[in-house]
Amino acid sequence: MRILASDALIVIDVQNDFCLGGALAVADGDAVIPVIQRIAPLFEHVLLTQDWHTAGHSSFASAHPGRKPFEQVEMSYGVQTLWPDHCVQGSRGAEFHADLKLPQAELVLRKGFRPEIDSYSAFFENDRATATGLATYLRERELSRVFLAGLAYDYCVGFSALDARRLGLPVVIVRDACRGIDLNGSAARMEAEFASAGVEIIDSSELTRDA
Ligand code: VGL
Ligand code: ZN
């Protein structure tokens, strides 16, 4: 697959808390880093997202007395899974993993900073309506196709992919550059949605730079 000047690689949430030893560690999460380091130079445009929660964020189980991580609660905007405290603004866990070295990244998009609402997707918060600004950013920069890599495959990567499709953007997920949480079948559910939404899934070995 040839990469074009109008393509953006969006690296989702490769932060300490989602990696080995982190507060919400994704199994084998660190394994995405060498793959991302290998493919990033093929892209003219690299963008990063950073999960960036307030202390005591409403997506944290600790903010809901009697509730535990990975349970679900009903919020004003629908069902929300509760997570361990993670990616608190300014914490070490919120920092990008030290082995992720992408100084060429043109944008760091922070999300999940509103105390009352979570944001898995890089495009819309979990009400699926509050915009992060990324859609407008891509449009103004004439970046018309997105490649996704990072963590977690079945949450932030997946929601970003589905929202991009909703916006009419072609989406390619680089599968081996992602790892998932797979909570109660979330990965299979997400993949069924990828299929009906037309999200393309490739292996990093399929990527080649346009000559
Ligand atoms: C994520 C759960 C909570 C992710 C972020 O990056 O996939 N998952 N916050
Ligand atoms: Zn989060």
pLDDT over threshold 60, residue 211? no
The ligand 1 site (C-beta within 6 Å) comprises 13, 18, 51, 83, 120, 151-152, 155-156
Q: Which of 120, 116, 148 is nearest to 7 (CA)?
A: 148
Q: Which of 10, 14, 32, 51 to mutate to test the pocket of ligand 1 (most atoms within 8 A of CB)?
A: 51
Percent of the chain scoring above 70 in pLDDT: 99
Ligand 1 centre distance from Cα of residue 50 (Å): 10
pLDDT score of 34: 98
Residue for token pair 């997946």 = 158
Catalytic residues: 13, 111, 156
Which long-range contacts (C-beta less than 8 Å, at least 24 apart) are formed by 132-141? 133/109, 134/109, 135/167, 137/107, 137/109, 138/8, 138/169, 141/45
- The per-residue pLDDT for range 74-98, each reduced to its tens digit, is 999 999 999 999 999 999 999 999 9
Is 15:51 a contact under the CB 8 Å cutoff?
yes
pLDDT score of 190: 98
- The per-residue pLDDT for range 30-57, each reduced to its tens digit, is 999 999 999 999 999 999 999 999 999 9
Q: How many residues does the chain have?
A: 211
What are the structure tokens assigned to 89, written together? 């603004």
pLDDT over threshold 70, residue 126? yes
Ligand 1 centre distance from Cα of residue 200 (Å): 21
Q: What average pLDDT does the segment 94-105 reach?
A: 98
Is 109:47 a contact under the CB 8 Å cutoff?
yes
pLDDT band at 209 (very low <50, low <70, confident <90, very high): confident
Q: Which of 155, 160, 178 to mutate to test the pocket of ligand 1 (most atoms within 8 A of CB)?
A: 155
pTM of the predicted structure, to 2 decimals: 0.98
